[in-house]
Amino acid sequence: MSKLFRSKFGLVTLATVAVAIVVWFVNRNAGASAAEVPLISVQKGNLQINVLQGGEIRALQNYEVKSEIELPTKILSLIPEGYRITEEDVKNGKVLIELDSADLRDRITNHEIEFQTTVSAFIDADENRAIQTSDNQSLARDAEQAMRFALMDFERYMGKEVAQAVLKARRIPANQEELDRHVGKLNEARPRVLNLDDKKEVAPAKPMEDPLAIKDEKDDKTAETEEDAEAAKKKAAEATDPPRIDFLSFLTNDQLGDGEAQQKLRQLSNDLLLRQSELGIAKQNIEASTRLAAKEFITKTTLENDQVNFDKANLAVHAATTQLDLFKKYEFPKQAELFLSAYQEALTKLQRTLRANRSRMAQAESRFQTAKRRYEVELTRREDMERQLKACIIKAPVPGLVAYGSHSGSAKFSNDTIEEGAGVRFRQTLLTIPNMSAMSVAVSIHESQVKKVRLGQPCRITVDAEPGKTLTGNLREMAVLPDSSSSRFTPNLKLYPAVVHVDGTHDWLKPGMNAKVEIIVNELDDVLFVPVQSIEVENDHFFTYVKQGSSLERREVKTGSFNDEFIEIRSGLTHEDQVALAIPKRQTLDNNGASSPSPTAPKKEKAKEPAAEAAPAKKIAAAS
């Protein structure tokens, strides 16, 4: 029992001593903290609001040297980076890069064979087109000559006037003038163009008219009445089916002209008259011989001879009559139809010949155009490969400083290596030659600061390489959308690319230097402000700690604009107040009797300042 009691008493004693030590230590620290909190007076004056961003020096204008070789190639030789190209280098054509051209030369050699074949096919197609043109002219000339000869044969057989009357009745060219007009229309005709891509319904074709018929001018007029319409239909029917010609009527009415038919008719008619005269003489002889034989003045043999002559003359008359009838009924209509048909066939043959000529010419022209297009394509390809071969040697284009690769915003994520032996792809940027006379700073503005920034705002620029020099400029460019590459690893980070133009020309500025840019967004006159680390943010309310005698009072204030160092105080403080330069610890406040708002007190109206402006204050409060 005594041992157990002694052990419990010992534990209680140790616990009491430990609590006493902790209380003493806390009270000691609290008193020291309250005494050591730094204070600063509320300042009044002009406050400059700016946005501080880090960036990189770039040239406003860059001349990029790209690979113009479509085939993958390699770098054989390369000028050192940082080399300054002079005007003399540009004039003398100093070589900057030499690319491997072995594969390209092999391709040019293989293409030369194809090119020569294409040239031969093009020349052959051109000559064939010329030959086809000459053949078409000969065929058309022969067909036209045969047509004119057929017209002349018909006129020669029927007589010119009768032939013209017949041809007009058949509604075909009746003389050389009409024939010339007909040939001119056939030569002016163009083949129909078929639109194979048009899938619309085609209207029914009109009945084909006789292409050899002569159209009356009245046929082209629109019929205004039903009678005119019927007459037009009748004329169209007659045009498509011309009336047959009754050539016998020309013999009956004695209408034949002075042609071969009339001459043949006259010859047969004269022969019949001659045979009839001979028959009359033979008849007189036989009658006289009969009377003399009855009186026995002549012999029987003489009578028989006269009888034979009479019979011969009678037979000759019958033969001549039959021959004349056959000519009138059969030979004349047949020959007239043959000559007319030959003339019509010559007209149709001329039309077929011209159409066939157009067809053959279209084929020859199509082959020529195909060969020409292939030649042009191969020639363009040849010239392009020759251009690429020349582009394997890249010479100095403009004066400036040589930098490897591209200096665009996306180039930082590229894995392209510019060195001797490295592979090069088509349109890859090999060198960048910046224009050093006009420089800029590329910065990325956080989304919380975007609404403050406006184009044209002045800027102060400091370069890490020359910390003692301050440059001026202004904001000239700012993206509408955030940079997608900035959120590749941090999706919640939204940065807007912007460009600040540097005023003046500075020889010591080089692309790639690090710089800091202060964008001056506003100038506040005669305002109260305190350091941003003096402000504490709690539930979107802003507090600061004000000295009241020997203690600190936690007071709510209304803030305004701010920069990286100070924040505007719109209400809650006066110029005579002193505030804590840092947020004191809670124990200090408790020991010094500082007041704090009750946790159950209702929330005041939220500050009207946007959360974007409070973001830096929140970060500072969290850090402290």
pLDDT for the residue numbered 207: 41
The pLDDT tens digits of the residues spanning 483-520 come to 877 666 677 788 999 999 999 988 888 888 999 999 99
The residue out of 389, 424, 457 marking a domain boundary is 389
SS3 227: helix
Give the pLDDT confidence score for residue 372 in this predicted structure: 95
pLDDT interval class at 265 (50, 70, 90): confident
Dump pLDDT digits (tens) for 466-477.
988 999 999 999
Q: Report residue 28's pLDDT band, with 50, 70 and 90 as the boundaries.
A: very low
- The answer to whether position 601 is within a domain reads no
Flag whether 582 is in a domain. no
For residue 380, the model assigns a pLDDT of: 95
Please tell me whether residues 320 and 377 are part of one structural domain.
yes
In a domain, 448, yes or no: no
Question: In this predicted structure, what is the pLDDT of residue 138?
Answer: 94
Residues 306-343 pLDDT 10s? 899 999 999 999 999 999 899 888 898 899 899 999 99
Q: Tell me how crowded residue 259 is: count the other CB atoms within 10 A of its CB.
A: 20
Instruction: Tell me how far apart the alpha carbons of residues 93 and 157 are, in angstroms, rounded to a whole number.
Output: 89
How many domains does the chain divide into?
A: 2
Q: In terms of domains, do 74 and 178 share one?
A: no
Question: What CA–CA distances, in Å, run from 478 to 412, 439, 450, 454, 498?
Answer: 20, 16, 9, 9, 4
Show the tokens assigned to 132: 């086809």
Q: What is the structure's pLDDT at 435?
A: 85
State whether residue 596 is helix, strand or coil.
coil
The CATH number of the domain where 419 resides is what?
Answer: 2.40.50
In a domain, 155, yes or no: yes
Q: CB within 8 A of 112, min separation 6: which ones?
A: 382
Give the confidence band of 27 by pLDDT, cuts at 50, 70, 90. very low
For residues 255 and 399, state if they share a domain.
no
Statement to judge: residues 313 and 425 lie in one domain: no
pLDDT tens figures, 388-432 = 999 999 999 999 889 898 876 555 545 778 999 999 999 999 999
263 found inside a domain: yes
pLDDT value of residue 590: 47
* 289 or 106, which is more confident: 106
Q: What is the pTM of this model?
A: 0.56
Q: Which residue has the higher pLDDT, 36 or 324?
A: 324
| Bridge partner residues of 536 (DSSP) | 543
Which residue carries 């004695």 as its tokens?
A: 254
* Cβ contact 97:404 at 8 Å: no
The one-letter amino acid code at 243 reads: P
Averaged pLDDT, 282-308: 87
Residues 177 and 270 grouped into a single domain: yes
pLDDT of residue 408: 67
The pLDDT of residue 267 is above 80: yes
105 and 92 together in one domain: no
State phi, psi for 206 to the nearest 5 degrees.
Answer: -75, 155
Residue 356 in domain: yes
| Domain co-membership, 143 together with 85 | no
Q: Which domain holds residue 417?
A: 70-99+392-434
516-534 b/e with 16+ CB inside 10 Å = b?
Answer: bbbbbbeebeebbbbbbbb
Same domain? For 379 and 406 the reply is no
b/e map 538-549, b = 16+ CB within 10 Å: eeebbbbbbbee
Residue 327 and residue 269 share a domain: yes
Are 241 and 379 in a shared domain? yes
Least confident of 24-28, 32-36, 545-549: 24-28
Shared-domain flag, residues 430 and 346:
no
Q: Please give the average per-residue pLDDT across 538-545, as a whole number.
A: 89
Average pLDDT for 225-239: 61
The strand pairing partners of 62, in sequence order, are 434
pLDDT (0 to 100) of residue 409: 55
pLDDT in tens, 140-154: 999 999 999 999 998
Q: What confidence score (pLDDT) does residue 574 get?
A: 87
CA separation, residue 180 to residues 173, 217, 219, 381, 450 (Å): 9, 18, 21, 50, 85
* pLDDT at position 56: 92
Q: At 210, is the pLDDT very low, low, confident or very high (cuts 50, 70, 90)?
A: very low
**pLDDT over 70 (residue 220):** no
Note the pLDDT of residue 160. Answer: 87
If asked whether residues 173 and 135 sit together in one domain, one would say yes
Band (pLDDT 50/70/90 cuts) for residue 3 is very low
pLDDT score for 414: 59
Q: Which domain-ending residue is among 408, 434, 460?
A: 434
In a domain? residue 451: no
Question: Residue 231: what pLDDT?
Answer: 65
In a domain, 161, yes or no: yes
Average pLDDT, the chain: 80
Question: Which of the four pLDDT bands, split at 50, 70 and 90, describes residue 598?
Answer: very low
